[in-house]
């Protein structure tokens, strides 16, 4: 039986997946584990009544396990790993936090109106650390040759970073980080990634209110 999963709908396109990297992370996990699922696209600016009844906090993603709706991508991915252990996607503990600050640094830089406030530098430092990690461990993934949960968490965030900073700031990941570039290319070319990603225009539409706030 297919798992029911609620994900964010695209701004202006209610039947398409929207700009939520945490939703894509869950979908990527389902795809790689070959778990059948049915996605409900939720308009987060006008949440349906049934959705708020089963999930009062109104956050996405949520997945229905054994008649209970469970929020939080970290929790969901953990349950999926327990229930569907093949293929194993658990990240070795020593690699679990690699790249974990990139998304918050990206968001601060994206919102920033002051080029000298250090937000760009903070992001560059995180990307540099990721580049050095990939170089040291040989890649193509964080934990080496096999893809793990940490890659599925980072892949959508790096995609958002690339699209949103390219559009709003005409900024791109420096060529001086070749391992990050090849890592992003490897992730982006995965069949599961292509199948679950939202198109750039909806990434931009989703970030636009936050940039202009």
Question: Domain range spanning residue 186?
Answer: 93-211
Same domain, 66 and 138: no
The reply to whether 22 falls in a domain is yes
* CATH, residue 7: 3.40.30.10
Same domain, 54 and 105: no
Same domain, 98 and 169: yes
Domain's final residue, options 83, 109, 125: 83
Rounded Cα–Cα distance for residues 178 and 50 (Å): 47
Same domain, 42 and 103: no
* Phi and psi torsions of 57, nearest 5°: -70, -25
> Exactly one of 6, 20, 23, 105 is catalytic; which is it?
20
Return the closest-CA partner of residue 176 out of 119, 132, 114, 116.
132
Domain's final residue, options 83, 109, 129: 83
Domain's final residue, options 83, 116, 141: 83
Chain position carrying tokens 């931009």: 204
The reply to whether 88 falls in a domain is no
Q: Is 20 a catalytic residue?
A: yes
The predicted pLDDT at position 139 comes to: 84
Rounded Cα–Cα distance for residues 171 and 119 (Å): 13
* CATH, residue 178: 1.20.1050.10
Residue 201 exposed, middle or buried by CB count within 10 Å (0-12, 13-18, 19+): middle
For CA atoms 41, 46, 47, 49, the dihedral sign is negative
The predicted pLDDT at position 213 comes to: 74
Same domain, 26 and 116: no
User: Angle at which helices 200-211 and 102-111 pack, to 10 degrees?
Assistant: 60
Same domain, 128 and 206: yes
Burial profile 28-42: b = 16 or more Cβ within 10 angstroms, e = fewer:
bbbbbbeeebebebb
Estimate to the nearest angstrom the gap between the alpha carbon of 168 and the chain centroid.
Answer: 19
Give me the tens of pLDDT residue by residue for the chain, a chain 213 residues long: 899 999 999 998 999 999 999 999 999 999 999 999 999 999 999 999 999 999 999 999 999 999 999 999 999 999 999 999 999 999 999 999 999 999 999 999 999 999 999 999 999 999 999 999 999 998 899 999 999 999 999 999 999 999 999 999 999 999 999 999 999 999 999 999 999 999 999 999 999 998 987
The reply to whether 122 falls in a domain is yes
- DSSP per-residue letters across 197-212: PPPHHHHHHHHHHHH-
Q: Provide the number of structural domains found in the chain.
A: 2
Rounded Cα–Cα distance for residues 5 and 71 (Å): 10
pTM for the structure as a whole: 0.96
């Amino acid at each position: 039986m297919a798992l029911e999963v609620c994900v964010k709908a695209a701004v202006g396109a209610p039947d398409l997946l929207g700009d939520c990297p945490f939703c894509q992370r869950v979908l990527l996990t389902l795809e790689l584990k070959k778990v059948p699922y049915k996605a409900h696209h939720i308009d987060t600016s006008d949440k349906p009544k049934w959705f708020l009844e089963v999930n009062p906090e109104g956050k996405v993603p949520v997945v229905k396990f054994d008649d209970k709706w469970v929020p939080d991508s970290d929790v969901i991915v953990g349950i999926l790993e327990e229930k569907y252990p093949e293929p194993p996607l658990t990240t070795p503990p020593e690699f679990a936090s690699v790249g974990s600050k990139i998304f918050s640094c990206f968001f601060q830089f994206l919102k920033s109106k002051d080029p000298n406030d250090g937000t760009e530098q903070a992001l560059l430092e995180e990307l540099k650390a990721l580049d050095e990690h990939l170089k040291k461990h040989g890649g193509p993934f964080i934990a080496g040759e096999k893809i793990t949960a940490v890659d599925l968490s980072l892949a959508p965030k790096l995609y958002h970073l690339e699209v949103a900073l390219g559009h709003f700031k005409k900024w791109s990941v420096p060529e001086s980080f070749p391992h990050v570039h090849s890592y992003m290319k490897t992730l982006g070319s995965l069949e599961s990634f292509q199948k679950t990603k939202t198109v750039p225009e909806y990434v931009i539409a989703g970030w636009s209110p936050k940039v202009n706030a």
